[in-house]
């Protein structure tokens, strides 16, 4: 018993610097990440022709096969358990754990994860309620999705997939920090996207669109804060 207590005390002593800095780093990450949203919104959107063409082309091409692909993959009992776990990995509690695990000793990474999350969600929800695409489970059988335009109906906010956009946004941020593991980050985000189809929540084109929105949002956000830091280094103030 005494030996266990001594080991515990020793661990606390050695981990004290880590335990002391962790909450401060997370607080910094959430505070700065939230404030970065303004810089991302002010930065002009720059989309190269080939990027826009790829986004539109792949999304529209996939939409032609939304119904057959969905019917083939969705609501399969054998896949439901794993799909639920993957889908939950980008929901609020899981995101908080992810921010903590990666940002505990890296305040700038915590900042980037929070900022990219907020900016991605802003873009995603804007498109969702602007386009008004019907959810699969609210669409009659043997028919494809419909678009009704701007609305606030939760049955018509299918495109793009928010879970997919969020996971690809985080994969982009984490890949910048840990490039050697980018394959695994994007494998995770791709699996999250597929899980949304398996669970019957999204059409395949929603997932493709969500992936593009997530990567674009993260890159735009990262570029915007990098420019702010560059201005600070040369002493520029607005």
Is pLDDT above 80 for 124? yes
Cα–Cα distance for residue pair 172/40, rounded to 1 Å: 16
Lowest-pLDDT range of 57-71, 86-100, 187-201? 86-100
Going by C-alpha positions, the residue among 169, 211, 231, 235 that lies closest to residue 43 is: 231
Torsion of Cα atoms, 207 then 49 then 215 then 223, to 10°: -160
Cα–Cα distance for residue pair 186/189, rounded to 1 Å: 5
pLDDT at residue number 166: 97
Half-sphere exposure of 99 (CA within 13 A, CB side): 26
Lowest-pLDDT range of 16-25, 196-205, 219-228? 16-25
Domains identified in the chain, total number: 1
pLDDT at residue number 179: 96
Q: Where are the alpha helices (DSSP H) in the chain?
A: 2-42, 49-63, 66-73, 77-88, 92-103, 107-131, 162-177, 182-198, 204-233
pLDDT at residue number 14: 41
Radius of gyration of the chain (CA): 21
pLDDT digits (tens, 9 = 90+) for 28-85: 888 898 888 888 888 887 777 778 888 999 999 999 999 999 999 999 999 999 999 9
* Percent of all residues in the chain with a pLDDT value above 90, rounded to a whole number: 62
With both helix axes pointing from N to C terminus, report the angle between 2-42 and 92-103 in degrees, rounded to the nearest 10.
Answer: 110
pLDDT digits (tens, 9 = 90+) for 145-163: 999 999 999 999 999 999 9
In a domain, 169, yes or no: yes
Half-sphere exposure of 148 (CA within 13 A, CB side): 13
Cis peptide before 160 (omega within 30 of 0): yes
Phi, psi of 141 (to 5 degrees): -60, 145
In a domain, 116, yes or no: yes
pLDDT at residue number 155: 94
In a domain, 54, yes or no: no
> How many other CB atoms are found less than 10 A from the CB of residue 231?
13
Q: Sorting pLDDT into bands at 50, 70 and 90, what band is 113? A: very high
pLDDT digits (tens, 9 = 90+) for 7-33: 444 444 443 444 445 778 888 888 898
In a domain, 92, yes or no: yes
Cα–Cα distance for residue pair 130/148, rounded to 1 Å: 9
DSSP three-state, residue 147: strand
In a domain, 60, yes or no: no
Domain hosting 158: range is 66-229
DSSP three-state, residue 99: helix
Is pLDDT above 80 for 180? yes
In a domain, 74, yes or no: yes
pLDDT at residue number 126: 96
pLDDT at residue number 219: 95
Lowest-pLDDT range of 3-17, 123-137, 187-201? 3-17
In a domain, 26, yes or no: no
In a domain, 57, yes or no: no
């Amino acid at each position: 018993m005494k030996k266990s207590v001594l080991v515990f005390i020793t661990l606390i002593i050695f981990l004290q610097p880590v335990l002391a800095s962790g909450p401060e780093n997370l607080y910094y990450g959430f505070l700065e990440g939230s404030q970065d949203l303004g810089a991302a919104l002010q930065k002009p959107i720059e989309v190269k022709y080939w990027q826009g063409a790829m986004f539109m082309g792949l999304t529209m091409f996939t939409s032609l096969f939304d119904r057959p692909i969905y019917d083939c993959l969705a609501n399969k009992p054998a896949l439901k358990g794993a799909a639920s776990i993957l889908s939950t990995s980008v929901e609020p509690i899981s995101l908080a754990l992810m921010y903590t695990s990666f940002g505990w000793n890296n305040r700038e990474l915590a900042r980037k994860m929070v900022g990219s999350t907020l900016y991605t969600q802003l873009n995603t929800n804007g498109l969702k309620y602007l386009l008004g695409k019907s959810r699969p489970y609210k669409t009659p059988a043997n028919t494809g999705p419909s678009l009704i335009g701007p609305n606030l109906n939760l049955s018509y906010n299918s495109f793009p997939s928010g879970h997919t956009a969020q996971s690809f946004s985080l994969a982009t941020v984490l890949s910048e920090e840990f490039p050697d593991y980018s394959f695994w980050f994007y494998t995770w985000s791709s699996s999250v996207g597929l899980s949304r189809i398996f669970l019957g929540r999204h059409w395949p084109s929603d997932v493709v669109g969500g992936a593009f929105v997530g990567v674009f949002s993260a890159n735009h956000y990262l570029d915007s804060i990098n420019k702010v830091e560059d201005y600070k280094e040369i002493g520029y103030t607005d």
